[in-house]
Amino acid sequence: MGCDIGGIVCYLFPILVSLLLIRAAYVWYSTGKPRRRADSESVRTLIVLGSGGHTAEMLSIVNVLLKDRFAPRFYVAAATDNMSLQKARVLEDSLVQHGEPSEGKKIEASQYMQIYRSREVGQSYVTSIGTTLVAIAHAVWLVLKIRPEVIICNGPGTCIPLCVSAFLFKILGVKWSCIFYVESIARVRKLSLSGLLLYKLRMADQFVVQWPQLQKKYPRALYEGRLM
């Protein structure tokens, strides 16, 4: 009996692995291909914030997105960052005051969450391996909870575990999410580590830079002018 189960596992395992690989190949192939949606319902949107200018750039995008289309909105910032979520709250509160939500439709309220940081500014790349593992576990949990359809980020370290977990869930068929990466305006000549990873791993559906000279260097990136 036990031998049989072992045999079945021996047969099933390679099949499962091949199926997963085929699925991964399909997901990578589809990433970056425009999505066609006939219905104009809303999309669950994850916005990754970060100190050092990241938040201001992200909120400038949120500011011009249709609020009942990109809803509900989930803001995530590093646990050590007290300012960013506060700034997002100020923006969201100003929307409520201006009576943005259209009548009749019940729109889920925006949520604010904190995440362990994978790497503090100045932390060495070696020790950041351990902290990154913790951050990944936390990110997996957050992405499972949020189940975002759209992720918008611009390169604080926290966006990598979030994007990687979202991409894994995409492969596993848990949730299909589109990643929009807009490299921070502070990056003129070189991509950030986060940007470089997402670019090389081809995980972002659309990869945007804010300087033409950077676009020349990374031809798969798009240049759409400056945010700030």
Instruction: Tell me whether residue 50 or residue 161 sits nearer to other proteins (CB atom).
Output: 50
Alpha helix (H) residue ranges in the chain:
2-30, 54-64, 83-97, 128-146, 159-172, 193-200, 212-217
Stretch of 71-79, 106-114, 129-137, 179-187 contacting other proteins, by CB under 8 A = 179-187
Single residue of 31, 60, 111, 131 touching other proteins by CB under 8 A: 60
Helix, strand, or coil (residue 183): coil
**Are the beta carbons of 160 and 137 closer than 8 angstroms?**
no
- Residue 40 lies near other proteins (rule: CB under 8 A): yes
- Residue 19 lies near other proteins (rule: CB under 8 A): no
User: What single-letter amino acid sits at 226?
Assistant: R
- Residue 63 lies near other proteins (rule: CB under 8 A): yes
Single residue of 180, 196, 201, 202 touching other proteins by CB under 8 A: 180
- Residue 122 lies near other proteins (rule: CB under 8 A): yes
User: What single-letter amino acid sits at 155?
Assistant: G
Instruction: Tell me whether residue 11 or residue 224 sits nearer to other proteins (CB atom).
Output: 224
- Residue 178 lies near other proteins (rule: CB under 8 A): yes
- Residue 53 lies near other proteins (rule: CB under 8 A): yes
Strands (E) across 79-211 are located at 111-115, 150-153, 178-182, 206-209
**Are the beta carbons of 27 and 164 closer than 8 angstroms?**
no
Considering only CA atoms, which of 39, 28, 48 is closest in space to residue 146? Answer: 48
Could you tell me the smallest distance in angstroms from the CB atom of residue 120 to other proteins?
11
What count of other Cβ atoms lies within 10 Å of the Cβ of residue 62?
20
Instruction: Tell me whether residue 138 or residue 156 sits nearer to other proteins (CB atom).
Output: 156
* Torsion angles phi and psi, residue 218, rounded to 5: -120, 85
Could you tell me the smallest distance in angstroms from the CB atom of residue 6 to other proteins?
47
- Residue 210 lies near other proteins (rule: CB under 8 A): yes
- Residue 61 lies near other proteins (rule: CB under 8 A): yes
- Residue 89 lies near other proteins (rule: CB under 8 A): no
Instruction: Tell me whether residue 60 or residue 140 sits nearer to other proteins (CB atom).
Output: 60
Q: Which residues have CB under 8 Å from 46's CB, separation 6+?
A: 74, 76, 143, 146, 148, 150, 151, 152, 162, 166, 177
**Are the beta carbons of 141 and 119 closer than 8 angstroms?**
no
Could you tell me the smallest distance in angstroms from the CB atom of residue 141 to other proteins?
26
Whole-angstrom distance, CA of residue 210 vs CA of residue 184: 7
Q: State the residues that interact with other proteins by CB under 8 A.
A: 34-38, 40, 43, 51-53, 56, 60-61, 63-66, 69, 121-122, 150, 152, 178, 180, 182, 184-190, 192, 205-206, 208, 210-211, 222, 224-228
